[in-house]
Structure 1
């Protein structure tokens, strides 16, 4: 199922029961992004127009459609783990980083700053990030720069990349395709140049 924006209106259709809702949504300049409507209506699903999407009722039902619906399952944001590797702290986040869950990321980033050294924020399992999460990352990046170290992002999803690009933040952070790539570049001292790091992933993003 694909949601097609019509002026300022969007229609969501549930892939499970066929129920639909049509409403005004504040969208990013990328017309494929429909997460604001999905979130506001209490639905679950992909942040992009290409589904799956599930209405509030069907979101509570067990997923029986194999891998199709799994990409639309967004859990509450949290921290999977914090690893200390030599002079690098890796903060692995998960779920949706928003106003309700930002405190966990804030605490993890504060811990990483207290430990010292470079910081890698692993976004492999982060589905959605809002202005709260972006603000936390920007502040942590500035704090790291003031301390003479680097904070970089690893494996952001297509949605997170879209948000970073829309907010003109994709040139602020060194961004890498994977945690291992970030660690390798930090070891090589290349991550201090965000432009070079982002250029390395641009051809693959």
Structure 2
């Protein structure tokens, strides 16, 4: 999701650099149409809330063959792999995690839950995530918590961190700079014990 509604305001998030701008939303017949907000702020991209959108700076960057800024290429979302390491399952996602690829992530997370241990979602190769992807992560996090396990996010991009912060979800998950950091922290905890937020912060610093 690259446009985040908040009462009468909307936050635009640049798909390339993660910069944001908040402005008054213009009520249109279709709430998904945000072209007036995009154009008034000097941004470029899709007239729809699902994007892509680029800030004025990134709009000046040369485009790759795929039509995106050269510094941030995107593609269909998918699962690169599922690794079982002791009592931790690592789900490695890639590309754009959105409505089209959400079922793939949901299936992978369900399989990880069936394994019964902690879960690390490796986001290092994920470019974008929308409300569908976030919903699957939140539900998987709650399921893990209910069974006494932990679901961690590893290596989210600046854009994904911005989306999590804007949606007030950055405090819901332990977030680590890398897959290795997440696994190291989980290995220090007794089986199926949730790492504290302070421990996650210490690992990132």
Fold similarity call, TM over 0.5: yes
Select the residue among 40, 43, 66 that pairs with 2:48: 40
Select the residue among 51, 68, 89 that pairs with 2:58: 51
Say how many residue pairs are matched.
176
Q: Equivalents in 1 of 2:182, 2:54: separation in Å?
A: 26
RMSD: 3.7
Cα 1:4–1:89 change in 2 (3 A) is closer
Cα 1:109–1:48 change in 2 (3 A) is farther
Aligned to 1:24: 36
Cα 1:114–1:157 change in 2 (3 A) is same
Aligned to 2:92: 92
Compare relative contact order (CA 8 Å, sep 6+) and give the higher one, 1 or 2: 2
Does the 8 A contact of 2:118 with 2:149 survive in 1? yes
For residues 2-151 of structure 1, the aligned pairs below 5 Å read 23-25=35-37, 37-38=45-46, 40=48, 49-51=56-58, 61=65, 69-151=69-151
Q: Equivalents in 2 of 1:43, 1:70: separation in Å?
A: 17
Aligned to 2:178: 178
Q: Equivalents in 2 of 1:160, 1:177: separation in Å?
A: 12
For residues 177-196 of structure 1, the aligned pairs below 5 Å read 177-189=177-189, 192-196=194-198
Aligned-pair CA distance for 1:146: 0.8
Aligned-pair CA distance for 1:4: 9.8
Aligned-pair CA distance for 1:24: 2.2
| Partner SS for 2:35 | strand
Q: Equivalents in 1 of 2:177, 2:80: separation in Å?
A: 19
Q: Equivalents in 2 of 1:122, 1:69: separation in Å?
A: 24
